Amino acid sequence: RGTITLDRRGTEAPRISVVIPAYNAANTIGAQLIALAAQDLAEIFDVVVSDNGSTDDTQEVVIQVAMANDLSLLLCRAAERRGPGHARNVGAAHARGEVLLFCDADDIAEPTWAHQLMDSVLLTGAAAGRLAKFVNDDPSQVDATAPALQRWHDVEQLAWPVTACFGVTREVFESLDGFDETVPSSEDLDFGIRLGLSGRSITQPEAQVRYRTRATPQKRRAPLRPSAPWESFIPARYRAL
């Protein structure tokens, strides 16, 4: 399928677009869409699901849940290149809002997530909230929380937003050319570093998502770390830091 639009609610663009990259997310994305439909945000917003080449029923689930919950939805195809960075960039390009809120297809946004994140983004240009880590498939079993703003080896200049709970203005996003799709992984880390090097900072509101994890209890309580390739990639790319 190509791009599918459901109920854009007029020709006037909303201020906010929520962008969700998805790949074989049929079993989880419905809960996230239902959570977005339940947001306490007073204004209408768009949800853009960017499908990174799913081979399961992701698209069918997205359409059914959006229709059942009166979501303003755009479902777009982002299969030209594998990876969440590409999917997020394609989703952002299709989004109409001037504020871009990013979340993941396997998490669950708290009811206040969108308005708390949006308020912070409008003040500073970029914001990353909090992650309430839940075990396996039971979002009621939260046993650890963590900020969605992390630092690589605690270096102040190397702050990076976990894109499961991240917001940025379109102006800032486009000024950095979005996510770098050529990096080996952890493109959110690279984006955060480039954001910091541009002189901008990322604020930390209380906006929270329930963050799915299958890690051991010890790892769930430990700080998040980027994947292994970054241990050599970051020093090589950002020698000045």
Where is average pLDDT lowest: 61-65, 120-124, 143-147, 207-211? Answer: 143-147
- Report residue 223 as tokens: 């700080």
Q: What is the pLDDT of residues 50-109, one digit of tens each?
A: 999 999 999 999 999 999 999 999 999 999 999 999 999 999 999 999 999 999 999 999
| Alpha-helical segments (H) within the chain | 29-37, 58-68, 84-94, 113-124, 170-175, 187-197, 217-221, 230-237
Q: Are 61 and 32 in contact (CB under 8 A)?
A: no
Provide the 10 A C-beta neighbour count for residue 134: 20
Q: What is the pLDDT of residues 188-240, one digit of tens each?
A: 888 988 898 888 889 999 999 999 886 555 554 455 555 555 556 666 777 65
Within 13 Å, how many C-alpha atoms sit on residue 115's CB side? 10
- Report residue 198 as tokens: 């541009």
pTM for this model (two decimals): 0.90
